Amino acid sequence: MEIYTNEDIRPGVIAGQRIAVIGYGSQGRAHAQNLKDSGHDVVVGVREGGKGWKHAQADGVPTAEPAEAVRNADIIAILTPDMAQAQVYRDIIEPHAKKGAAILFAHGFSILYGRVAPRPDMDVILVAPKGPGDLVRREYARGRGVPALFAVEQDATGKARDRAMGYAKGIGGATGGLLETSFREETETDLFGEQAVLCGGAKELVMGGFSTLVEAGYQPEIAYFECLHELKLIVDLFYEGGITKMNEFISETAKWGSVVSGPRVINGETRERMREILAEIQSGQFAREWIAENEAGKGAYDALVKADSDHPIEVVGAGLRERMAWLHAPKTAEAA
Ligand code: NDP
Ligand code: MG
Ligand code: MG
């Protein structure tokens, strides 16, 4: 697979194009600041008085009401939560975007599942950094960058690919390495990763291990350290040097235990469930259910997320983390 860097992208490829960033949350804040520092003409579309508006004012980034920001923009980045995008497109972008503007997403959900159907005159592109907004900003500020994916869904102007690559470069994505994908591949793999492995899978593994130890009579504090706290040390090794690096650093006993017991936890049955989850993502069933849940007022969502925060591991963890001084520096970590 080809990985593009800054040299592969013609300087000034999106010069003179006005960029409107709609939403100033995790991604919006990082994109807008990086694009501005890269010399682009950026305006942030935020609702006056809202949290995003306050942050943008404090950061000194030009702001306008969302419809006003869209009106003169050549590239419109829609960086509001996925579930808000259909309404933002319908009420703000479709009626106000100029002919031949590009609409840019950081996740393909709204397009893949037909929630947003952009006008035929518009370019439809995606630039998705592989990291949370605060890291995208921090790495850029250090002269580095977080790798990013880009894709073109609709090329109305003949310039869609240039626009996506130029924007990605402006947020530091080509410094980190830029990979080409499609809306379908980005969306389906992102949803699968967060459900089966990163957020859903890892969380259940941690909670399941904790409960097994506590039910067997071990002290919850000890179980917390073994099943949650130390996970970071292992994940850091994966991140820095893959499975091989973890194997270089753990004891022989841990390695033997991991090769004989790991496959009993994540076994053929678990992988069958993973395939099921993937099939539900591919068929659109997951998206339909999530949209229906939103339309019904998110009662089940609220109850299930609350159950997570009420889990005994959270009670014991809060007390232990209070003593870990290094954790108290402010930092956000919305990764998925
Ligand atoms: P956030 O939840 O952080 O975005 C919140 C922003 O959207 C706020 O500025 C909020 O305004 C604004 N907003 C919400 N609803 C509306 C509305 N109806 N009209 C106008 N503005 C609105 O979003 P994320 O940054 O997490 O996600 C943005 C996109 O990036 C999504 O597509 C997501 O999948 C993708 N993504 C996110 C990643 C992440 O790390 N979070 C990683 C990669 C992709 P206000 O302040 O006024 O409430
Ligand atoms: Mg993700
Ligand atoms: Mg995601």
How confident is the model over 6-65, as pLDDT tens digits?
999 999 999 999 999 999 999 999 999 999 999 999 999 999 999 999 999 999 999 999
Q: How far is the CA of 69 from the centre of ligand 1 (A)?
A: 16
Where are the extended beta strands (E) located within 139-200?
148-154, 178-180
d(CA 65, CA 72): 12
What is the predicted ipTM?
0.97
Which atom belonging to ligand 1 lies closest to the Cα atom of 132?
40
Instruction: Tell me the per-residue pLDDT of 263-308, one tens digit each, with 9 for 90 and over.
Output: 999 999 999 999 999 999 999 999 999 999 999 999 999 999 999 9
Q: How far is the CA of 24 from the centre of ligand 3 (A)?
A: 17
Residue 176 is predicted with a pLDDT of 87
- Residue 39 Ramachandran class (φ > 0 left, ψ -120 to 50 alpha, else beta): left
d(CA 72, CA 77): 13
Residue 229 a catalytic site member: no
Q: How far is the CA of 278 from the centre of ligand 3 (A)?
A: 14
Q: Give phi and psi for 178, each to the nearest 5.
A: -115, 125
Instruction: Tell me the per-residue pLDDT of 135-170, one tens digit each, with 9 for 90 and over.
Output: 999 999 999 999 999 999 999 999 999 999 999 999
Q: Which residues are annotated as a binding site for NADP(+)?
A: 24-27, 47, 133
pTM of structure: 0.93
Can you list the domains of the chain with their CATH numbers? 3-181 (3.40.50.720), 191-229+266-328 (no CATH)
Cα within 13 Å of Cα(125), Cβ side: 29
Residues in the chain, total: 336
Nearest CA to ligand 1 atom 46: 52
Ligand 1 pocket by Cβ (under 6 Å): 23-28, 46-47, 50-53, 66, 79-82, 84, 87-88, 106-107, 128, 132-133, 334-335
Instruction: Report residue 176 CA to chain centroid gap.
Output: 16
